[in-house]
Amino acid sequence: MKESQGYWWQTYKDYHITDLEIKQSSLDSCLFYKKKGGEIVELVESLVDDTLVTGNHMFMALGAEKCQRFDVKAKVEHFPMNIGGLIISEDDYSFCISQQEYKDSLETISINNFNEKDFAHMRGQLGCIASCTRTDVAYSYAALSQAKASESTAEQVKILNSSIDDLKKIN
């Protein structure tokens, strides 16, 4: 039973790549996509045991029935939709994934009065944004993750705060 997660993931991944003929993102191993004519027509995101499958009008008309292999409960959502803090919207030509509200909720921490819990919490929130929608802060997050929160320094808090400030400047 220890390997059940691995077997599930491998089955799931193989199904998407082979049966649905979609590609795995090099940026996020849980994100799959399909392009036709240079346009993304389908997105599949897997987060633990939840899966989001969405696509443009072509996918919804022709490809959605292929997703019925796994007997799971499905819920039809209309755009824009909020899934775990990710706001997904579309127009005629593209999908947009945003964490604007989540990003706006980030707060810097005091350099003079920080503690391990606050540092770990904010670093984790930065990591969530870095891995989902804002890869521009991934380097800072990776650098901050090299140290234990219990050993965080004022210099690391400055880097964390600077990353949060930078996120808030750009939509």
Q: What is the pLDDT of residues 106-138, one digit of tens each?
A: 999 999 989 999 999 999 989 888 887 888 888
Are 67 and 115 found together in one domain? no
Are 105 and 49 found together in one domain? no
| Count of domains observed in the chain | 2
Are 56 and 115 found together in one domain? no
Give me 57's structure tokens.
Answer: 């009008």
pLDDT band at residue 60 using 50, 70 and 90 as cut-offs: low
Tokens 């649905």 -> residue: 20
Are 110 and 145 found together in one domain? yes
pTM more than 0.75: no
Are 10 and 73 found together in one domain? yes
**CA dist 42 to 36, 45, 55, 90, 94, Å?**
9, 10, 4, 12, 10
Q: What is the secondary structure of 102-167 as a DSSP string? A: HHHT-----SSS--HHHHHHHHHHHHHHHHHT-GGGHHHHHHHTTS-GGG--HHHHHHHHHHHHHH
pLDDT surpassing 70 at residue 149: yes
Are 66 and 105 found together in one domain? no
Are 70 and 14 found together in one domain? yes
How many Å from the N-terminal Cα to the C-terminal Cα in the chain? 44
Are 109 and 68 found together in one domain? no
Give me 82's structure tokens.
Answer: 């909020």
- pLDDT: which is higher, 49 or 79: 79
In a domain, 160, yes or no: yes
Are 64 and 15 found together in one domain? yes
Are 57 and 109 found together in one domain? no
Q: What is the pLDDT of residues 72-84, one digit of tens each?
A: 555 556 678 776 6
Are 68 and 130 found together in one domain? no
Residue 161, pLDDT score: 95
Range of the domain at 137: 101-169
